Amino acid sequence: MVLGYLIGRRIKTGSDFFLAGRQLPWWAVGMSLVATDIGGTDIIGVGGAAYKHGLAVANFEWIGCIPAMIIGAFFFVPFLYRTGIYTIPEYLERRYNLSVRTIMATCWLVFMACNIGIMLLASAKMMQSLFGWEMWFSILLMATLVGFYTSFGGLAAVVYTDVLQCVILIGGCLLLVVFGLWQLGGIGEFRTKLQNRFQAEQMEDVTANALGSESSEVNRQSTSSNKKPDPHLELILPVDTPTPFPWPGILMGLALILSPAYWIGNQAIIQRSLGSKSEFEAKASYVWGALLKNVIPIVIAVPGLIAIALFPDIQDGDQAIPTLVTRILPSGVRGIFFAAFLAAMMSSVDSYLNSAATIVSYDFIQRFSRAPLSESRILNLGRITTIAGVTWGVGFAFLLTLLKEGSGIYAIFQTLMAFFQGPALAILLTGMLWRKAHGRAAVVALVLGIITSISLYALNQPAIYSSLGWKPLFQIQEPFLYFSIWSFLVSLTTLVALSVTLKSADTSKSELVIWNTARKVNHIQ
């Protein structure tokens, strides 16, 4: 809060608030990228997913981040930096038209608004488990802390607090790993206990099959993996895995679609690299972030595996990490982990708040105002929309507390992203790489892609497919990776087919295609 206050006193313009006056160093931006990506939802959700499904969830931090970050660093981030934009929807209007900008800005705003609520709820759950605090109190406390420094200090406060939070986050989570392994008696004992647990699960499945269990589908799938190594420690899982992480989903849905969509097209991520001091520093921030990403699964996924070995009977995966923290950490160290969790939560909420405010200010209010707004008005607008965003987040978090437990925080987050990330990547990449991509075709492609993913999600809900008399469309749990593949393909096909048909004659926009303008786009306004 002090840092936010000190930085906030030096902010004079909208550019200072939203892009930190383009003065951020690469090391700060890189650590901020990682801290933003690892939120409270990840500590609880990734740990919980590792507890339920094993190490395969680490794919989200490894192949689901690093290749896309490196490609982004050298090809897309420098290009977007040179265009001088504030938001990704702004680029989409320049490249396509206002409709594409407005649809994408709306999607991002809805996603960020929901995400802020989800993150506040995750922090409240953790604090309830650790200290027995009431959920409403935790939600309000977090919202007040983050809302203060984000509304006061803007992107610079967000990035510099993220640096501190990144250090605390990695250090605190590492303590959980160290104490967990110490409790287990070392890495060898850890592996043995995991193997024993796997064999016990197999025996339970065999017994259930012999008794003619009702859940024959899942059991058959589990038994079919009898001769395979312990899936708790496997990164690449077969097509028929009952988990949400079969390898085609990870490779095509995550590595090739969701990950580039996140690292190249996510406003909260791109915005901090646009605030870098120079194009080179923007590239360096992504490379530094990619290096840091290599260690993240060790500190956030491995605790979930340790929980399997120590406490194999937890029913709700989201309770795995809180259980581990309360049962194995001494009280002083528990405080450090709690600080790490708070750091993770704050670093993500502040980023989404700042980016949501940027979208509201630039893509809606300024874009549709009759006269251009002065810099001081944009600054005030940014602060007001930040406060409005945090207020909304509190309301949404309270709403979520009324929902059923056990749906999985990580799955909620990923499903929300999968709704529009595939179509968004299709139009963004095609627009950057193909001169003939047409504005009207992009609108149709974007809408069709989003309808596809929402339809697939709806048709996979038991209430809907049962009422239609259908079988479920997907045979894995939480198939959000497959939603993104199909919606991406629908959008891409539609965009290419319609663009060829419409024969775009608008050559003025070809300067916003990456190949044509590698060095020419200098801050087009």
Please report, as ranges, the residues that interact with other proteins according to CB under 8 A. Answer: 55, 62-63, 66-67, 69-71, 73-74, 233-236, 238-240, 247-248, 251, 255-256, 278-280, 283-284, 287-288, 290-291, 293-294, 459, 469-471, 473-475
| Shortest distance, position 74 Cβ to other proteins, whole Å | 6
**431 contact partners, CB below 8 Å, separation of at least 6:** 92, 95, 96, 437, 442, 512, 513
To the nearest whole angstrom, how small is the minimum distance from the Cβ of residue 451 to other proteins? 15
Residue 71 CB, nearest distance to other proteins (Å)? Answer: 6
CA angle 382–384–385, rounded 5-degree value = 65
User: What's the closest the beta carbon of residue 473 comes to other proteins, in angstroms?
Assistant: 6
Closest distance to other proteins from the beta carbon of 460 (Å): 11
Q: Residues 477, 480, 483, 487: what is their CA dihedral angle, to the nearest 10 degrees? A: 180
Alpha carbon distance, N-terminus to C-terminus of the chain: 35
DSSP-assigned letter for residue 471: P
Closest CA to 424 of 487, 481, 496: 487
Place of tokens 């929300």: 416
Q: What is the largest CA-CA distance in the chain?
A: 74
Tokens 């497959």 correspond to 482
CA distance 5 to 2: 5
> In terms of CB distance, is 101 or 293 closer to other proteins?
293
**Please, which residue, 205 or 281, has the CB nearer to other proteins?**
281
Q: How far is the CB of 62 from other proteins (least distance, A)?
A: 6
Residues 6+ away with beta carbon under 8 Å from 3: 149, 153, 157, 160, 161, 164
Q: Is 305 left (phi over 0), alpha (psi -120 to 50) or beta?
A: alpha
Q: Annotate 267-297 with b (16+ C-beta within 10 A) or e (fewer).
A: bbbbbbbbbbbeeebbbbbbbbbbebbeebb
* Gap between the Cα atoms of 501 and 467, Å rounded: 39
Q: What is the 3-state secondary structure (H, E, C) of 249-271?
A: HHHHHHHHHHHHHHHHHCHHHHH
- d(C-alpha 180, C-alpha 305), whole Å: 10
Judge contact between 447 and 142, C-beta under 8 A: no
* Residue 343 and residue 35 in contact, taking contact as beta carbons nearer than 8 Å: yes
Nearest residue (CB) to other proteins, 470 versus 515: 470
Q: Least distance to other proteins from the beta carbon of 64, Å?
A: 11
Complex with other proteins: residue 55 or 432, whichever CB lies closer: 55
Q: Cβ 481 to other proteins, closest distance in Å?
A: 13
Q: Which of 339, 373, 352, 388 is nearest to 114 (CA)?
A: 352
Cβ at position 280, least distance to other proteins in Å:
5
How far apart are alpha carbons 294 and 300 in whole angstroms? 12
CA–CA dist 329, 335 (Å, integer): 9
Q: Which CB atom, from 108 or from 288, has the smaller least distance to other proteins?
A: 288
Query: CB of residue 122 vs other proteins: minimum separation in angstroms?
Result: 27
Q: What whole-number distance in Å separates Cα of residue 391 and Cα of residue 404?
A: 23
Q: How far is the CB of 471 from other proteins (least distance, A)?
A: 5
